[in-house]
């Protein structure tokens, strides 16, 4: 048999489709942003990897590949990845070297959990895979409540304590719950959801003990705080644990005076200071509850995996940016992109939690996929950034005073190089990492069995998660652009609209959009429920056909939605984003329909040991990241020397003019 036919996942069409799928989604993610936007490329690449693997058992799980791929890539969505890119443009040697290194770290963290999420359905047995949906639903429900109530709760806290107000974005540091722009609140609510699930899963066994442990902990915390107050140790303790996030000796460029400490943020959220007299018993209560769950929690049905991720996220954030920053403020703290957000620590902790779980429960192929896709993704982001910097060199006003040359290259420079290179280009290289990792696993993993197909509702749930939830949280953002007032007072859609025939009913445009989407969701869920009982004729009978249908519906829904968001202010620069995305979507449509095969041959040689592969990937990654950093920095500096290249910023991580010194996050200034 032809060897090429035994590894269908490595056919050029397969590798290209997975990479292109992530590129399309990543370009769209740049317009929708954050965790919700990052789900799009994960779902598309997961479907493509499953369909082109040549393995029918993976195709049978295509909806799980979509769901877990989406959730895996969502983890890095809140990371402030623009600052590492900005550092590379700075012209300041230590900052540039640091910039390329942190560009790798950012890409690695994002792609590694994305790879782990994509690989998980290929590894886990059906029973455990579908059990995981029970605690996952608890987390998603609690997150949904948080999504709709967080702003209201934060505003209430601001009013009760009379401290700071709240703003959705520009002044989000005024939110009493703001904590280094991290994901601590999401980790907290996930922890609450998992504890509630564990109580429910044990049918509230030993529940009275929860109250006992909580009461003892609260009393102990109250006593400890009182003793610290009586002995005068609270002040010294606060001086050790609390640090202003800035340099008190630096001069504020706006006032030409030293920064006012009262206007600087600290390494703790404002809510902790507002609750000052009550922190002892509150922390004691939490500690008591924690001891109860440590002793009696069983964490069944896959909740152990989610607990590993949640605790890892929390611990990495607390140990790193919060506590270690107390001893490293001379360089801006233990913060990747000071003074910006530290959700990178949450992402790092989540990855560590996944790797620990994979080691403990013999899911090392998941760890392998995480490391391989992470290494390729990190190097890919470095390479994409370097290519962008090369593209900015011709006719750059920083390099030439010849206006004829500058004008000749002006249109070239007006292209959206960030989207072309560090969004769509980086997305393609991220996808290459997924293609390589999943391609290697496709010949090394023993077949997974889905018979009997227990908990078929999880398949319908996965489809609805992708086509209803994921699309809604992204497409609802279109209303921001449609209702925004453009030049000349033009609005594509009015902010509010009255109901037909009933003038007394007036709802915001986003409200009408939500109502329609809710009706669509009800329709989708009803049809999926019917399909589980009696297959609908419109749904293909083969899993290849089902996967193709899901891919194309998702692809074109988000491509059209992305265009609809941009159309109200469309210009020629958008051709490099929406135009290229549309062309790539046409190519992906052709590839997934023309090159997918109903029957395929794949040689499977089950592999039990992955330690050697992981060590090789880590060693190769470390070697290449050092070579890339040295080579890219040398080339850039050979052209620009110590000059900032004129793109963005300039952002500095080190030196007397470092961002954290000169441009700290202030309570009364717009968040950057």
Q: Which of 28-32, 304-308, 381-385, 635-639 has the lowest mean pLDDT?
A: 28-32
Contact 369, 328 (CB under 8 A): no
Predicted local confidence at residue 639, as pLDDT:
92
Lookup: tokens for 382: 């470095």
Cα distances (angstroms) measured from residue 355 to each of 127, 192, 309, 332, 360: 21, 23, 9, 29, 9
DSSP state, residue 545: H
Output 102 or 669, whichever has higher pLDDT: 102
The answer, yes or no, to whether residue 407 has pLDDT greater than 50, is yes
More confident of the two residues 150 and 234: 234
In this model, does residue 377 exceed pLDDT 60?
Answer: yes
φ/ψ of 621, rounded to 5, equals: -65, -45
CB-based contact 71:113 (threshold 8 Å): no
Q: Which of the 8 DSSP states describes residue 447?
A: P
pLDDT at 237: 92
Tell me the average pLDDT across 548-561.
Answer: 96
Residues in contact with 495: Cβ distance below 8 Å, sequence separation at least 6, in sequence order: 483, 508, 509
pLDDT at 165: 53
Integer Cα distance of 653 and 193 in angstroms: 38
Q: Which long-range contacts (CB under 8 A, 24 or more apart) does 618-621 make?
A: 618/371, 618/375, 620/375, 621/108, 621/371, 621/374, 621/375, 621/378, 621/379
Average pLDDT over residues 117-127: 96
Of the CA atoms within 13 Å of residue 287, those in its CB half-sphere come to 14
pLDDT band at residue 169 under the 50/70/90 scheme: low
Average model confidence (pLDDT) for the chain?
A: 91
The pLDDT-based confidence of 183 (bands split at 50, 70, 90) is very high
pLDDT at 225 over 90: yes
How high is the pLDDT of residue 208? 92
At residue 171, the pLDDT reads 76
∠ CA(592), CA(28), CA(384), 5° rounding? 90
- Distances from the Cα of 83 to the Cα of 28, 169, 190, 595, angstroms: 20, 18, 28, 40
pLDDT attached to residue 490: 79
Predicted pLDDT at 589: 98
Q: Is 338 a residue whose pLDDT tops 60?
A: yes
Q: What percent of the chain has pLDDT over 70?
A: 98
The per-residue pLDDT for range 82-91, each reduced to its tens digit, is: 899 999 999 9
- Residue with more model confidence, 162 or 323: 323
Q: Is the pLDDT of residue 186 over 50?
A: yes
Alpha carbon 492 to chain centroid distance? 31
d(CA 629, CA 650): 19
Q: Which residue has the higher pLDDT, 487 or 409?
A: 409
What does R_g of the chain's alpha carbons equal in angstroms?
A: 26
Report pLDDT digits (tens) over 490-525. 788 889 999 898 888 999 999 999 999 999 999 999
- What's the confidence (pLDDT) of residue 346? 96
Can you give the pLDDT at residue 118? 98
Residues 155-161 have a mean pLDDT of 71
Q: Tell me what pLDDT residue 167 has.
A: 56
The answer on pLDDT for 294 being more than 50 is yes
- Name the 3-class secondary structure at 258: strand
Quick one: pLDDT at residue 1?
39
% of the chain surpassing 90 pLDDT: 72
The pLDDT tens digits of the residues spanning 20-75 come to: 999 999 999 888 878 999 999 999 999 999 999 999 999 999 999 999 999 999 99
pLDDT number for residue 4: 47
Is the pLDDT at 313 greater than 70, yes or no?
A: yes
Q: Output the pLDDT for position 159.
A: 72
pLDDT confidence band for 2 (50 / 70 / 90): very low
Q: What is the pLDDT of residues 434-447, one digit of tens each?
A: 999 999 999 999 99
Answer yes or no: is pLDDT of 174 > 90.
no
Ranges of each domain in the chain: 1-122+363-451+574-672, 125-158+179-338
pLDDT digits (tens, 9 = 90+) for 599-643: 888 888 888 899 999 999 999 999 999 999 999 999 999 999 999
Tokens of residue 21, six digits: 């799928």
The torsion angle over the Cα atoms of residues 257, 258, 264 and 266, rounded to 10 degrees, is: 180
Tell me the per-residue pLDDT of 564-579, one tens digit each, with 9 for 90 and over: 988 887 877 778 788 8
Distances (CA, A) of 86 to 127, 277, 635: 46, 42, 17
Residue 3 has pLDDT above 50, yes or no: no
Residue 56: cis peptide before it, omega within 30 degrees of 0: no
């Amino acid at each position: 048999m032809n060897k090429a036919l035994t590894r269908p996942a490595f056919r050029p069409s397969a590798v290209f489709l997975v990479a292109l799928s992530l590129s399309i989604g990543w370009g769209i993610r740049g317009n929708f942003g954050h965790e919700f936007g990052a789900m799009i490329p994960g779902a598309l690449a997961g479907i493509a990897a499953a369909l082109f693997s040549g393995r029918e058992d993976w195709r049978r799980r295509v909806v799980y590949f979509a769901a877990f791929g989406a959730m895996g890539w969502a983890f890095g969505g809140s990371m402030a990845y623009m600052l590492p890119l900005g550092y590379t443009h700075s012209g300041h040697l230590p900052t540039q070297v640091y910039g390329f290194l942190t560009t790798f770290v950012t890409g690695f963290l994002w792609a590694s959990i994305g790879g782990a999420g994509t690989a998980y359905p290929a590894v886990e047995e059906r029973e455990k895979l579908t059990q995981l949906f029970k605690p996952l639903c608890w987390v998603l429900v609690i997150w949904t409540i948080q999504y709709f109530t967080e702003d209201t709760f934060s505003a209430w806290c601001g009013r009760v304590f009379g401290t700071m107000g709240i703003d959705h974005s520009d002044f989000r540091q005024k939110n009493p719950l703001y904590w280094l722009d991290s994901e601590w609140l999401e980790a907290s609510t996930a922890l609450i959801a998992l504890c509630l699930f564990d109580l429910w899963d044990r049918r509230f066994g030993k529940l009275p003990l929860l109250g006992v442990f909580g009461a003892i902990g609260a009393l102990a915390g109250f006593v400890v705080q009182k003793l610290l107050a009586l002995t005068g140790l609270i002040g010294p303790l606060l001086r050790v644990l609390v640090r202003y996030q800035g340099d008190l000796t630096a001069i504020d460029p706006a006032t030409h005076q030293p920064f006012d400490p009262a206007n600087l943020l600290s390494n703790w959220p404002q809510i902790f200071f507002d609750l000052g007299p009550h922190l002892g018993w509150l922390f004691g209560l939490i500690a008591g509850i924690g001891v109860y769950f440590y002793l009696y929690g069983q964490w069944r049905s896959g909740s152990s995996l989610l607990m590993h991720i949640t605790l890892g996220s929390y611990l990495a954030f607390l140990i790193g940016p919060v506590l270690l920053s107390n001893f490293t403020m001379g360089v801006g703290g233990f913060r990747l992109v000071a003074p910006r957000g530290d959700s990178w620590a949450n992402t790092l902790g989540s990855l560590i939690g996944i790797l620990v779980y994979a080691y403990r429960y013999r899911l090392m192929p998941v760890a392998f996929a995480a490391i391989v896709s992470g290494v390729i993704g990190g190097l890919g982001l470095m390479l994409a950034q370097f290519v962008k910097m090369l593209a900015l060199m011709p006719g750059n006003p920083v390099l030439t005073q010849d206006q004829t040359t500058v004008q000749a290259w002006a249109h070239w420079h007006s292209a959206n190089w960030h989207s072309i290179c560090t969004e769509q280009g980086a997305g393609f290289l991220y996808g290459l990492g997924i293609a390589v990792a999943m391609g290697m696993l496709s010949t090394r993993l023993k077949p997974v069995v889905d018979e009997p197909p227990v908990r078929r509702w999880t398949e319908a749930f996965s489809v609805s998660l992708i086509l209803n939830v994921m699309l809604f949280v992204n497409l609802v953002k279109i209303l921001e652009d449609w209702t925004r007032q453009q030049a000349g007072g033009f609005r594509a859609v009015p902010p509010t609209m009255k109901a037909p025939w009933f003038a007394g009913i007036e709802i915001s445009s986003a409200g009408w959009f939500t109502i329609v989407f809710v009706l669509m969701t009800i329709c989708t869920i009803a049809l999926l429920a019917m399909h589980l009982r009696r297959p609908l004729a419109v749904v293909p009978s083969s899993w290849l056909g089902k996967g193709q249908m899901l891919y194309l519906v998702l692809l074109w829904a988000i491509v059209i939605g992305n265009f609809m968001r941009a159309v109200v202010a469309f210009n020629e620069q958008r051709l490099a984003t929406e135009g290229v995305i549309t062309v790539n979507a046409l190519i992906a449509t052709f590839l997934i329909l023309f090159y997918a095969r109903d029957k395929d041959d794949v040689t499977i040689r089950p592999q039990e040991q992955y330690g050697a592969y992981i060590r090789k990937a880590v060693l190769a990654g470390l070697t290449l990241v050092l070579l890339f950093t040295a080579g890219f920095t040398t080339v850039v500096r050979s052209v620009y020397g110590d000059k900032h290249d004129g793109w963005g910023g300039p952002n500095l991580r080190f030196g007397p003019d470092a961002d954290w010194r000169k441009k700290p996050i202030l309570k009364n200034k717009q968040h950057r």
